DNA sequence: CTGTTAGCGCCTTCAG
DNA sequence: CTGAAGGCGCTAACAG
């Protein structure tokens, strides 16, 4: 069967069918308390009978409110971002907004294209993981009347809300856990220094060690954060540490495997903590103890903060929300002894 | 700085500024050929000066056309679906449509909620990866005037377009490759029979072997398609085959690792082909030769078929497009000898 | 080639 | 508590 093009019922049709005026129908739908219960009943019957579906777009034209919010990110296919998207979609759905997916594909022109699209659509706001560090374009969007919430990026508090995960805390938790499990000769297997997340996680690791005089902390930097480099590092290690914190799960998975090939047992000889709770962490042979980042919640919170700004306007105070990562215990570390 | 609420310029303002009528402005924007070059120039200047941005929503109210298309799927955080989303977003962007992300979260009520949202928004159409097998709700959507393209699911051709990947061909290619590489004693490590994809891939594998009398094909079914089960299977294997086709990359990764622990070398002793080209395939120690599915293209094609239906209407012929998977050569198989 | 006019579907004063 | 009328921003006839 092909598409039937029955012109959908309009509010007028409902009014006629119910024997009332359009404004009464509108009231029944939007402010039921102002309408006599019986007439309301009649109207609702008519709505059902005609399969009437209101048209928020038309309403928005009148009221000035739209009901779509933008989600601008570099690449939905990347699991970190797709998890943000999931959380954002959840929240948007719960609040009756629709989420417009804007995948900039790492291309600034395209990001800009989406920005103007959002202006055209009169989106109520946008959650964005911006591409460059340059805030000019973001500011312009905001001046255009589109409130923004930044995700996973810093943002001067006065300019708007932002959400992110605390990587320093993550590093601290990871290493603290190794200490709790009895490890004292520690190694951080890190990614490039330039990556903010890596630097922060290392800083957190140092904080944890500082509180425990008796422990040592080394660091080795992997060229790329992949399983292969993790294995490589495991092979080259001279004196084995008794605890390793890898700043990403791929490195951790590779490291475990490389150690295995040398006959080193995880967690008996060396304990390992990863970071990110990627799929791989629970699929791998020795499942990884790792740091979970509440990414979905991050997306959800971003949307909710945005809606608060949109709906509260005057009373809204910008907020920089930082989420706490937490530890997922699996096989690559031993049970912690009570401190 | 806070949101400045300057009421955006309307088409009237532009008309006034340029000293012409609104319809002329509209024409300049939509059918430039019907307008004198000089007046057009004046209008464009005014547009720029006032920072005028057209309001497609209002236009749509008038024309009846909307410019948003829905993307309904079970879970964006799942990499298969997020890749579809990426392709769909690409195509939608290229054609000037906006993509509304509808993550049903595996909940039928929610999927239904999104369906009615799409009706409300008068979406021009939707790409959907439906939850259940029941086509009733889909049909209703279509009757409501929202054309559908199904992704990764079967659909009677007369009811609309669909896109999917040919799993039989995928299985055939995988095993053919093993044969080309000299393997003769083959094993399929599969998931549950009930899963259509698994059944299809096995069927493809059998087709490949049938053409080569001299080869044997066994099958073993893993309870779950994870790295851990792959390892398990590698450990339990009695007589080693010389070629293994795992119907998913997790299984393949686990298998390789399990074989490694037994001292069996990949690809020297046993060659392995995976399926899916997940991240893990290229990150793992011995990188996996695997079957790539053109998932992004699937998403892109879905949107384009949808738009064809929307724009062509009468001449549009429903199409069931099946994509061909292909082989990605990596380290877990030896170079094929010319056939 | 350009201007005038009448809605698209809805909400919202303002009267009754 | 209900109805009539105007307009949100834009396009599409139809005149000029």
Rounded Cα gap, residues A155 and A129, in angstroms: 11
Q: Which two tokens stand for residue A287?
A: 């499942």
Q: Do B103 and A83 touch (CB under 8 A)?
A: no
**Chain B: closest CA distance from residue A263 (Å):** 10
Q: Do A61 and B58 touch (CB under 8 A)?
A: yes
Work out the widest C-alpha separation in chain B, in whole angstroms. 87
pLDDT of residue B178: 93
Shortest CA to C1' contact from B62: nucleotide = C8
Q: Which residues are paired to A103 by β-bridges?
A: A73
Using alpha carbons, select from A11, A51, A16 the residue that is nearest to residue A29. A11
Instruction: Give A93's contacts in chain B (Cβ within 8 Å).
Output: 103, 110, 113-114
Residue of B6, B67, B76, B261 to mutate for A, most A C-beta atoms under 10 A: B76
Q: What is the 3-state secondary structure (H, E, C) of chain A?
A: CCCCCCCCCCHHHHHHHHCCCHHHHHHHHHCHHHCCHHHHHHHHHHHHHHCCCCCHHHHHHHHCCCCEEEEEECCCCCHHHHHHHHHHHHHHHHCCCEEEEEECCCCHHHHHHHHHHHHHCCCCEEEECCCCCCCHHHHHHHHCCCCEEEECCCCCHHHCEEEEECHHHHHHHHHHHHHHCCCCEEEEEECCCCCHHHHHHHHHHHHHHHCCCCCEEEEEECCCCCHHHHHHHHHHCCCCCCEEEECCHHHHHHHHHHHHHCCCCCCCCCEEECCCCCHHHHHCCCCCEEEECCHHHHHHHHHHHHHHHHHHHHHCCCCEEEECCEEECCCCCCCCCCC
Q: Do A143 and B110 touch (CB under 8 A)?
A: no
Using CA atoms of A69, A73, A75, A81 in order, give the dihedral in degrees to the nearest 10: -90
pLDDT of residue A1: 38
Residue nearest to nucleotide C7 (CA to C1'): B62
CA angle, A293 then A297 then A299, to 5° = 105
Contact assessment for residue A252 and residue A275, using Cβ atoms and an 8 Å cutoff: yes
Q: Is the pLDDT assigned to residue A4 strictly greater than 50? A: no
- pLDDT, tens digit, for every residue of B146-177? 889 999 887 666 678 889 899 999 999 999 99
Reported for B118-122, long-range contacts at CB under 8 A and 24+ positions apart, including other chains, are B118/B70, B118/B72, B118/B146, B119/A8, B119/A53, B119/B144, B119/B145, B119/B146, B120/A53, B120/A54, B120/A55, B120/A56, B121/A56, B121/A57, B121/A98, B121/B66, B121/B68, B121/B70, B122/A8, B122/A55, B122/A57, B122/B60, B122/B66
pLDDT of residue B179: 93
Contacts of A128 (CB under 8 A, 6+ apart): A70, A71, A72, A73, A138, A148, A149, A150, A151
Q: Do A53 and B98 touch (CB under 8 A)?
A: no
pLDDT of residue B2: 41
Contact assessment for residue B174 and residue B273, using Cβ atoms and an 8 Å cutoff: yes
Q: Which residues are paired to A11 by β-bridges?
A: none
Residue nearest to nucleotide D5 (CA to C1'): A23
Burial class of residue B184 in the structure, from the number of CB atoms within 10 Å of its CB (0-12 exposed, 13-18 middle, 19+ buried): middle
Question: What is the arithmetic mean of pLDDT over A150-156?
Answer: 79
Q: Which two tokens stand for residue A2?
A: 């092909």
Q: Which residues are paired to A131 by β-bridges?
A: none
Contact assessment for residue B160 and residue B195, using Cβ atoms and an 8 Å cutoff: no
Spell out which residues of B between 19 and 78 contact strand C, using CB within 7 Å: 19-24, 27, 34-36, 38-40, 58, 61-62, 64
Instruction: Give B60's contacts in chain A (Cβ within 8 Å).
Output: 57
Residue of A55, A57, A80 to mutate for B, most B C-beta atoms under 10 A: A57
From first to last of the 339 residues of chain B, give the pLDDT tens digit. Answer: 344 456 788 999 999 999 999 999 999 998 888 888 889 999 999 999 999 999 999 999 898 888 899 999 999 999 899 999 999 999 999 989 999 999 999 999 999 999 999 999 999 999 999 998 788 889 888 888 888 999 988 766 667 888 989 999 999 999 999 999 999 999 999 999 988 899 999 999 999 999 888 789 999 999 999 888 999 999 999 999 999 999 999 999 999 989 988 999 989 999 999 999 888 787 777 777 989 888 888 888 888 888 788 777 667 888 888 888 888 888 888 877 754
Using alpha carbons, select from B116, B125, B74 the residue that is nearest to residue B98. B125
Q: Do B89 and A98 touch (CB under 8 A)?
A: no
**Chain C: bases < 7 Å from a protein Cβ:** 1-5, 7-13
Q: Which residues are paired to B102 by β-bridges?
A: B72
Q: Do A227 and B56 touch (CB under 8 A)?
A: no
Contact assessment for residue A152 and residue A163, using Cβ atoms and an 8 Å cutoff: yes
pLDDT of residue A6: 62
**Chain D: bases < 7 Å from a protein Cβ:** 1-13
- pLDDT, tens digit, for every residue of A32-90? 888 888 889 999 999 999 999 999 999 998 888 888 999 999 999 998 999 999 999 99
Contact assessment for residue A168 and residue A204, using Cβ atoms and an 8 Å cutoff: yes
pLDDT of residue B4: 42
Instruction: Give A227's contacts in chain B (Cβ within 8 Å).
Output: 280, 283-285
**Neighbour count for residue B179 (Cβ, 10 Å):** 19
Q: Is the pLDDT assigned to residue A164 strictly greater than 80? A: yes
Grade residue A185 by pLDDT with cuts at 50, 70 and 90: very high
Of A76, A98, A139, the CB nearest to B117: A98
For helices B37-50 and B11-18, angle between their N-to-C axes, nearest 10 degrees = 120
**Neighbour count for residue A28 (Cβ, 10 Å):** 23
pLDDT of residue A314: 67
pLDDT of residue B307: 79
Residue nearest to nucleotide C5 (CA to C1'): B23
Q: What is the percentage of chain A residues whose pLDDT exceeds 70?
A: 96
Rounded Cα gap, residues A50 and A217, in angstroms: 72
């Amino acid at each position: 069967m092909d598409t039937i093009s029955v012109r959908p019922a309009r509010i007028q049709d409902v009014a006629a069918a119910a024997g009332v005026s359009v404004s009464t129908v509108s009231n029944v739908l939007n402010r039921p308390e102002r309408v006599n219960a019986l007439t309301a009943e009649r109207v609702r019957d008519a709505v059902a009978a005609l399969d009437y579906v209101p048209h928020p777009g038309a309403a928005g034209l009148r009221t000035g409110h739209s009901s779509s919010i933008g989600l601008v990110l570099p690449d939905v296919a990347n699991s970190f971002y797709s998890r943000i998207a999931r959380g954002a979609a959840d929240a948007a759905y719960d609040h009756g907004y629709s989420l417009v997916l804007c995948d900039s594909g790492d291309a600034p022109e395209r990001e800009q294209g989406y920005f103007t699209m959002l202006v055209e659509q009169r989106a109520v706001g946008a959650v964005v993981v911006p591409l460059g560090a340059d805030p000019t374009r973001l500011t312009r969007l905001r001046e255009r009347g589109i409130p923004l919430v930044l995700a996973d990026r810093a943002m001067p508090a006065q300019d708007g809300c932002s959400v992110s995960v605390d990587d320093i805390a993550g590093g601290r938790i990871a290493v603290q856990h190794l200490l709790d499990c009895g490890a004292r000769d520690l190694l951080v297997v890190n990614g490039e220094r330039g990556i903010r997340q890596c630097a922060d996680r290392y800083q957190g690791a140092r904080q944890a060690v500082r509180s425990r005089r008796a422990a040592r902390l080394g660091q080795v930097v992997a060229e790329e954060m992949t399983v292969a480099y993790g294995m490589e590092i495991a092979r080259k290690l001279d004196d084995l540490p008794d605890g390793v914190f890898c700043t990403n799960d791929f490195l951790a998975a590779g490291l475990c495997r490389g150690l295995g090939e040398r006959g080193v047992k995880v967690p008996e000889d060396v304990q390992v903590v990863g970071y990110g709770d990627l799929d791989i962490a629970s699929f791998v042979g020795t499942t990884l103890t790792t740091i979970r980042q509440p990414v979905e919640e991050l997306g959800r919170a971003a949307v909710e903060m945005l809606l608060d700004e949109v709906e509260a306007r005057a009373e809204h105070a910008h907020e920089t929300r930082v989420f706490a990562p937490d530890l997922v215990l699996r096989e690559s570390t031993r049970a912690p002894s009570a401190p």
